[in-house]
Structure 1
Amino acid sequence: MLNSLYSGITGMKGQQTKMDVIANNIANVNTTGFKSQRVRFQDMISQMDARAQGPNTGGRGGINAQQVGLGSQVASTDIMMQGGSLQFTGRALDFGLQNGDSSFFVVSQDGGASGMNQYTRDGGFYTDNNGNLTTSSGMRVMGYQPEGSGAPVLEEGLVMNTDQLVALDIPQTIQDANGNTIELQDYAVDSTGTILGTYSNGEVYIIGRLALASFANADGMEKVGENLYNSSANSGVAQFGAPSDDGFATVRSGFMEMSNVDLANEFTEMIVTSRAYSANTRSITTSDEMLQELINLKR
């Protein structure tokens, strides 16, 4: 049987995988913080028909090896971690990460009770009826709180406990130094991820600070859906810090990071993929015609 039949099949399978990735990229062109992917190919093992030979003592020169390739295969499906553009929303709990492609928000399914964290670039957060800071799917947003009781403190008394990640919340009421109950009037988040709450006594209190995670090889992270990533054996261990710290991104409140999908590039790759798939099918039909001619020799 002609090897070209099987080589054509490997080519078709590879182009099908590439088309799957392109379609997924296009489907997520408006997904917040989405990172596009690309497919790379490599050749498969080659059949050795004759090995290379060096020059011999009789004066004859060397000859190269004779090899016939047996097709192609997918080498990798890379995640393109370049940051997407920031779009202004004006919403206080929308956060975009700037100047830090390997930085991620830290979230937890159980508020950090299990110590199992996940990571996201989607900074569209919400507060529930208890004041908990959450993602759109209910994951708790992790960060740091002032040392001591963990209650909000006045700006001039800020000392953050950066040794432990906790689930952040924005309390609607707190007690001041005199034991009086005061109510939240407004809140804001600065470029360092610090959450500032203005309460009914006119004072501004530090509520907490967003945490970020950075990875030595962010391209090695695994997508798990819902705009979430898990660390992997090749991403490296998460290094925790805060926005604007050395090696970490800056937070822009009132902005959202858009998908980094380039539609012009995706449509171009779609055309190339379609033509490559057609060319591989043509190699199969041509091989079939050659086999048919061989069979016709019997007549």
Structure 2
Amino acid sequence: MGFQQGLSGLNTSSKSLEVIGNNVANANTYGAKSSRAEFADMYAASLGGSGTNKIGIGVRIGAVAQQFTQGNLTTTSNPLDIAINGDGFFMVQRWDPVTGTENLQAAGERLYSRNGQFKVDSSGYIVNNEGHKVLSSDSQPIKLNLTGGAAQSTTRITADLNLNATDAIDTPFDATQYPPVTGTFSFATTQTLYDASGEAVPLEYYFRKSGIDQWEGFTAVGGTYLNGGAASFTMNFDPSTSLPISITDGAGVTSTGVGLASVALPTIPASGTRSAITGVTVDFSSVTQYAGSSTINELSQTGYPKGDFSSFQIDSNGSVLVRYTNGVTEVGGQMGLARFTNSQGLQPVGGNEWKDTSASGSPLIDKPGSGRFGLLQGGALEESNVDLTGELVNMIVAQRAYQANAQTIKTEDQVLQTLVNLR
């Protein structure tokens, strides 16, 4: 027996305790992966020896292997928290905000993480707690539009309404009076449109029953009738189906048949700060003429005002959905994931991040949910995969191993002491 074996046992047991201690310390670190100290025995090489009766000279740490098993997912109240359910790593990058290029001053510029505790910085980039920018599937930083969504002028209106078939025929519409005289129309409603700058424009509709199975529609904006006071559109209905069989717009263009084409709305002229609204089409294919009250089922349009940034969320396939206060939702980017042939070859660099090495291989990059890549879950985080119960048991085992190795050194010391005392 020599001191070498016991000393190596003390060193490896101490390292094993360090690994266990690091696991326990990161039991509450989101995205952290546990490690395991793996031992290897040591033998001295000798020339000319058969080696059949060799005695080992101790033990060493063969590897500290990370365990990339899936951690439990826990929901949070933060929509910026993202968890990976399955294989893959978030890609993050140090990025120079001045030049817009990669910062090559630090080792391992492109890093990988399982921790999805993300933020939005003042420039609109999605970043992690280290300030590293999250990358898209095309390896570019994801930047959100914080200045707000642009306004859009109305280009199309969809009208789904019923006109009362039992209404009496109205008296001729008097376009010289505003508002129109009672008795010249049967039903009225108002809809808000938007010009190119996003200014709201209230559009008034007045529906007049002008004959059996025939209706005229008049429109007005700001107290002025469109189309010079003439009907903006005329609808003829099939009495057997109560559906329109022809619609004529204010310019005299007629659409006929089932699934009628949209008709053009008269131009809304500019006024004050409002710009002109032109080229608006109205889809009346869902209009009906049934007995009963005239009602609006849907009266929608495609325009909207400028909106301010409200929030964002990431769906399971990594699409970054940006919401604005005007109700518009846009796709602001596509989050990417990376995976490796040998994840255990990744080198930890701290901050819940790893960098690739020759042992891990080059990253394979794609969208979440593609092939072997995992899916994302918004409003959730992946907990550490550290098993506290198992680590505490391992701690006891490592402590006993340390004590046992210390005992071998003590015994060797006693043997040497006996030899020294021989006379």
> TM-score range with shorter-chain normalisation?
0.7 to 0.9
Select between 273-282 and 164-173 the one with higher mean Cα deviation: 164-173
Residue 153 of structure 1 corresponds to which residue in structure 2? none
Give me the whole-angstrom Cα distance separating, in 2, the residues matched to 1:46 and 1:69: 7
**1:242 shift after superposition:** 1.2
Secondary structure of the residue that 1:66 maps to in structure 2?
coil
Residue 400 of structure 2 corresponds to which residue in structure 1? 275
Among candidates 4, 8, 15, match of residue 6 of structure 2: 8
Among candidates 136, 149, 160, match of residue 174 of structure 1: 149
**1:175 shift after superposition:** 2.4
Once the two structures are superposed, residues 226-277 of structure 1 have per-residue CA deviations (whole angstroms, 9 ceiling, x without a partner) of 1111101100001111111112111000100011111111111111111111
Residue 242 of structure 1 corresponds to which residue in structure 2? 367
Answering whether residue 74 of structure 2 is matched by residue 87 of structure 1, we say yes
Normalised by the size of structure 1, how large is the TM-score?
0.83
Among candidates 83, 105, 121, match of residue 128 of structure 1: 121
Give me the whole-angstrom Cα distance separating, in 1, the residues matched to 2:49 and 2:122: 74
Answering whether residue 29 of structure 2 is matched by residue 31 of structure 1, we say yes
- Runs in 1 of length 4+ with deviation above 6 angstroms? 47-50
Give me the whole-angstrom Cα distance separating, in 2, the residues matched to 1:127 and 1:34: 22
One-letter code of the match for 2:332? I
Among candidates 131, 144, 148, match of residue 138 of structure 1: 131
Answering whether residue 97 of structure 2 is matched by residue 113 of structure 1, we say no
**1:188 shift after superposition:** 2.3
One-letter code of the match for 1:199? Y
Give me the whole-angstrom Cα distance separating, in 2, the residues matched to 1:187 and 1:6: 60
**1:114 shift after superposition:** 2.2
Among candidates 54, 60, 69, match of residue 67 of structure 1: 54
Give me the whole-angstrom Cα distance separating, in 2, the residues matched to 1:287 and 1:47: 23
Normalised by the size of structure 2, how large is the TM-score?
0.59
Give me the whole-angstrom Cα distance separating, in 2, the residues matched to 1:216 and 1:171: 36
**1:68 shift after superposition:** 1.2
Q: Number of residue pairs matched?
A: 264
Residue 292 of structure 1 corresponds to which residue in structure 2? 417
Secondary structure of the residue that 1:208 maps to in structure 2?
strand
Structure 2: unaligned runs, 5 residues or longer: 104-108, 154-195, 198-305
Give me the whole-angstrom Cα distance separating, in 2, the residues matched to 1:251 and 1:198: 19
Identity across the alignment (%): 30
Given that 2:43 and 2:54 are in contact with CA atoms closer than 8 Å, whether structure 1 keeps it comes out as no
Say which structure is richer in helix.
1
**1:49 shift after superposition:** 11
Given that 1:50 and 1:66 are in contact with CA atoms closer than 8 Å, whether structure 2 keeps it comes out as no
Secondary structure of the residue that 2:348 maps to in structure 1?
strand
One-letter code of the match for 1:272? V
Select between 220-229 and 193-202 the one with higher mean Cα deviation: 193-202
Secondary structure of the residue that 1:261 maps to in structure 2?
coil
Structure 1: unaligned runs, 5 residues or longer: 53-63, 145-163
Bigger Cα Rg? 2
Residues 1:65 and 1:198: Cα distance change in structure 2 (over 3 Å): closer
Give me the whole-angstrom Cα distance separating, in 2, the residues matched to 1:288 and 1:199: 76
**1:201 shift after superposition:** 4.2
Once the two structures are superposed, residues 155-211 of structure 1 have per-residue CA deviations (whole angstroms, 9 ceiling, x without a partner) of xxxxxxxxx321112212132565654323443221001111233443321111111
Secondary structure of the residue that 1:69 maps to in structure 2?
coil
